Structure 1
Amino acid sequence: MDHGIVGGHVSVPHSRPYMVYILDSITHTACDGFLVREDFVMTANYLMNNFSVGFRRPKVYLGVSDTKFLPHGIEVDSFPHPGFKNNMGNDIMLLKLKTPVTLNKTVTIIDLPNPWNDKISKDCLVMGWGSTIYDHDSPSTVLRELNVTLTSDANCGKPDIICHKGKVGPSLVCI
């Protein structure tokens, strides 16, 4: 099973200081998220609760450019969305850092859109670590990114799935 960014390019080191690498110290399962406050990270609930792999003792790593050189990890408490059921909708989770971080040029909070925006852009930047080939364990140790265009194509799957045009982009399953 894999997750990652298929296609795209390597991010400039530390150019996405809100990105967070999440690693389980027991299973070595990895995924990513983003810093929304000095003490909270948002990630996918599905990734954290994957039944085949699962996270038992996740730690978050901030300011990471290359996962071969991880700084000191921070332990977290997890708060899944209460409406999450078997990968069907509400697929978000907050991770509360047991030690709040100090913001600096390599660790910052992501700017979220205002909820009163009536139109969200169809052009998006996706990023993450992990596989660079769909359905293939080909992890990248460096943060990768890619511009994609969202679509509302009815053939792309369930109504709560975000779809995009093209054969490159995010693949979202834990490694």
Structure 2
Amino acid sequence: MPSFDAALTAYQTLPQRVKSLMLSTVSADGNPHASYAPFTIDDTYQIYLLTSGLSAHTQHLLSTGRASVLIIEDESQTQQVFARQRLTYDCQVIPIPRHSEGWEIQIAQMEARFGPIIAMLRQLEDFQLFRLSPQAGRFVMGFGAAYAVDPNNLSQLQAGAITGEAS
């Protein structure tokens, strides 16, 4: 099993190494939906998504205010596909009003990360910006190395691996 310091470093760097996340939402009538979205994440581990209002997941985010995300190591970067590093968060969803200060700050962050495509997407009126605020999380570094995210300080893991965690 890796050291706690190695796990913490891997946890803190994973969101910078990948550019998209898997998004799990539920419709207002309880039907599950899986999709993906490019994302940015700030220093306080708040996650930002810019999504089309034509997509099912945007409607689900608006109607339920909840989502689960999976940030996972690229298959090509792992030695064992069954033991990919991954991070899950259960999130509260908050829409960011278009042209607000928060909108402008986060759109600039997205442009810095994703380039000119954001300038085009921001002009499309159906695109909406969301902040996903993690309420709980879990980081799996590999076989037998799973850690709870500290809900009081999202930049930290709770010491001690979670027992009984499968890959």
TM-score (norm 1): 0.37
**Higher CA-based Rg:** 2
Q: Give the helix-richer structure, 1 or 2.
A: 2
**TM-score with structure 2 setting the length:** 0.38
Q: Relative CO higher for 1 or 2, CA cutoff 8 Å, sep ≥ 6?
A: 1
